[in-house]
């Protein structure tokens, strides 16, 4: 088969699709991964064919992060032309042969490209977004509601698409020559099918979902076989007890210096050592206090099993890696689906309550101390999660005749 995989967003949106591309390649298929151009080195290092997509919106996000409301409003005026250029890059993918399209909803153009090519389309979802259920509210809903309103909250996903409908409608007609205008992603998912890329041990399928919507397991990419840690990281890990990991990926408080100072003071209060991952700048330490090592990043699959606790933002990629590593977690959610996953981890007994509201050193230190008591539960849950092969399950679904 020649699967076309299309994803847009941060590394957390791209890496699971790269893991899926690796699995398809290993199964004898010829996948093409289309993603923001900044991720091309990740794909080529894995031997995956790559089609670069416009990543101006990611660059804009990097530029305005932490600059306040005025900068965000000014940037928003630039989004529609950037979106059109991103969609035009996707239209160019019609020149490639494909038997199936697997798309991230953020791409916006994925299902329409499948329509143009006359092939099936599958939404590859890293969180539940488009299949309503009465079991829990939409994970992106920013407020709590009574359980009786759970199913109604799933309409929020369509509301999020509203600002882009005109742009997508014009592109669909002009670049692809398709009729009938814009279709809500929820309708496209219902018609084409979905792959839910998380572990059923984290979130099982509710009883009111169809059987083919049951989660496959995480789409996890193992650490590169030839990766070796920098000498200073290896030496730090050997020099004492397992440290606390702290990293917030591309999430930001808007004030990385204050967040870093809070984290460092919390670590000091616990009396523990720590590894701080600066990621995309959410943390910005000026120096390394004693017992703290600052790194930019390291493969989670390698690093987290060597940690005592993982403190993070609640992105599904970090959640998955920490579950597989068997380490208890402390989640400081910032936005989107992060509070939802933080709540799930707490209910499973592998994390204390999410650290929401005003973050203080004392609150964060108390959460880290509380998490250490959950280590046995985290180790117990790791075994069944590691036994899953979400990529293989997804490959089997994609390969199924239609």
Domains in the chain: ranges and CATH:
3-196 (3.40.50.2000), 231-386 (3.40.50.2000)
Nearest of 194, 14, 187 to residue 122 by alpha carbon: 194
Length of the chain: 402
Average pLDDT for runs of 10 along the chain of length 402: 95 93 96 96 94 86 52 57 94 96 94 95 94 92 87 86 88 90 83 94 95 94 78 94 91 78 95 90 79 91 96 94 97 91 97 94 98 98 96 95 71
Q: Calculate the alpha carbon distances from 200 to 203, 320, 390 in Å.
A: 5, 11, 10
Nearest of 293, 297, 300, 303 to residue 236 by alpha carbon: 293
pLDDT for res 194:
95
CA angle 243, 256, 346 (to 5 degrees): 50
Nearest of 236, 242, 282, 280 to residue 262 by alpha carbon: 282
pLDDT for res 69:
41
245 strand-pairing partners: 275, 310
Task: Please provide the distance, in angstroms rounded to a whole number, between the alpha carbons at the two ends of the chain.
Answer: 13
Name the residue with tokens 């399209």: 101
Query: Per-residue b/e over 170-182, b at no fewer than 16 CB within 10 Å?
Result: ebbeebbeeeeeb
pLDDT for res 225:
66
pLDDT for res 158:
80
pLDDT for res 76:
53
Query: Global pTM?
Result: 0.90
Beta strands in 26-82 (DSSP E): 32-36, 49-53
pLDDT for res 187:
87
CA torsion sign for 22, 23, 26, 30 is negative
pLDDT for res 284:
79
Query: Per-residue b/e over 49-67, b at no fewer than 16 CB within 10 Å?
Result: ebbebbbbbbebbeebbee
Alpha helices by DSSP H, 125-215: 156-161, 165-174, 185-192
């Amino acid at each position: 088969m020649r699967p076309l995989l299309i994803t847009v967003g941060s590394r957390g949106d791209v890496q699971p699709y790269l893991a899926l591309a690796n699995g398809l390649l290993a199964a004898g298929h010829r996948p093409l991964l289309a993603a923001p151009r900044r991720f091309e080195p990740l794909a080529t290092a894995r031997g995956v064919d790559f089609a670069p997509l416009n990543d101006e919106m990611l660059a804009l996000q990097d530029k305005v992060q932490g600059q306040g409301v005025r900068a965000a409003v000014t940037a928003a005026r630039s989004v529609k032309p950037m979106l059109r250029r991103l969609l035009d890059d996707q239209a160019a993918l019609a020149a490639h042969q494909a038997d199936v399209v697997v798309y991230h909803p953020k791409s916006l153009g994925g299902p329409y490209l499948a329509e143009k090519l006359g092939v099936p389309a599958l939404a590859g979802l890293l969180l539940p977004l488009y299949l309503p259920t009465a079991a829990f509210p939409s994970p992106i809903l920013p407020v709590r509601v009574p359980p009786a309103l759970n199913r109604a909250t799933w309409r929020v996903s369509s509301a999020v698409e509203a600002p882009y409908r005109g742009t997508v409608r014009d592109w669909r007609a002009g670049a692809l020559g398709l009729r009938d205008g814009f279709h809500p992603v929820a309708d496209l998912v219902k018609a084409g099918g979905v792959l839910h890329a998380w572990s059923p041990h984290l979130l099982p399928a509710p009883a009111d979902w169809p059987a083919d919507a049951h989660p496959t397991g995480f789409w996890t990419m193992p650490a590169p076989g030839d990766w070796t840690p920098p000498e200073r990281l290896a030496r730090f890990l050997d020099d004492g007890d397992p440290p606390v990991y702290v990293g917030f990926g591309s999430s930001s408080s808007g004030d990385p210096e204050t967040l870093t100072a809070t984290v460092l003071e919390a670590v000091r209060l616990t009396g523990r050592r720590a590894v701080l991952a600066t990621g995309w700048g959410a943390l910005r330490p000026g120096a390394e206090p004693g017992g703290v090592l600052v790194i930019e990043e390291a493969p989670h699959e390698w690093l987290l099993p060597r940690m005592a606790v993982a403190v993070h933002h609640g992105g599904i990629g970090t959640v998955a890696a920490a579950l597989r590593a068997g380490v208890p977690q402390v989640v400081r959610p910032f936005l989107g689906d992060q509070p939802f996953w933080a709540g799930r981890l707490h209910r499973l007994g592998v994390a204390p309550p999410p650290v929401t509201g005003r973050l203080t050193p004392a609150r964060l230190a108390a959460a880290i101390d509380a998490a250490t008591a959950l280590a046995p539960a985290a180790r117990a849950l790791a075994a069944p999660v590691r036994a899953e092969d979400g990529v293989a399950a997804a490959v089997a679904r994609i390969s199924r005749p239609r």
